[in-house]
């Protein structure tokens, strides 16, 4: 039996790239996440996925982002960067619970 490697940074890079390519269109983001779910292991990387959808990148213990301000490792298509109104936050919640 060969164990599968746990590579959250590779997962992060794939998700962030897809979110950034989808642009500001929440429907395109939802479609990307739906399609990516068939080839990426969301259960295995649930914490990483949650960090990205809420904070825009992976988080270290204590809540600091692990991206070294590298724009290819972070996305602005997340709850933290959403407009501060009820509808915007609800739309992001609907995308992430899908």
Which pLDDT score is estimated for 89? Answer: 87
Rounded average pLDDT over 87-95: 85
pLDDT tens per residue across span 23-67: 888 899 999 999 999 899 999 999 999 999 999 999 999 988 888
Q: How many domains does the chain have?
A: 1
**2 pLDDT band (50/70/90 cuts)?**
low
Query: Considering the domain boundaries, does residue 2 fall inside one?
Result: no
Query: Considering the domain boundaries, does residue 44 fall inside one?
Result: yes
Rounded average pLDDT over 77-92: 88
Query: What is the Cα–Cα distance from 43 to 60, expressed in whole angstroms?
Result: 19
The more confidently predicted of residues 74 and 94 is 74
pTM above 0.75, yes or no: yes
Query: Considering the domain boundaries, does residue 89 fall inside one?
Result: yes
Indicate whether 16 pLDDT > 90: yes
The more confidently predicted of residues 13 and 89 is 13
Query: Considering the domain boundaries, does residue 72 fall inside one?
Result: yes
Q: Which domain holds residue 37?
A: 8-93
Query: Considering the domain boundaries, does residue 1 fall inside one?
Result: no
Query: Considering the domain boundaries, does residue 98 fall inside one?
Result: no
Please name the residues in contact with 13: beta carbons below 8 A apart, sequence gap of 6 or more: 72, 73
Query: Considering the domain boundaries, does residue 28 fall inside one?
Result: yes
Would you give the DSSP letter of residue 3? P
Reading the block at residue 19, the tokens are: 């979110």
């Amino acid at each position: 039996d060969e164990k599968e490697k746990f590579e959250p940074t590779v997962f992060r890079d794939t998700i962030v790239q897809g979110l950034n390519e989808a642009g500001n269109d929440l429907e395109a983001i939802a479609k990307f996440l739906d399609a990516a779910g068939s080839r990426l292991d969301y259960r295995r990387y649930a914490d990483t996925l949650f960090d990205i959808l809420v904070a825009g990148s992976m988080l270290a213990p204590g809540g600091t982002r692990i991206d070294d301000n590298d724009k290819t490792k972070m996305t602005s298509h997340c709850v933290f960067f959403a407009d501060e109104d009820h509808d915007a936050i609800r739309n992001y919640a609907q995308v992430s619970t899908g």
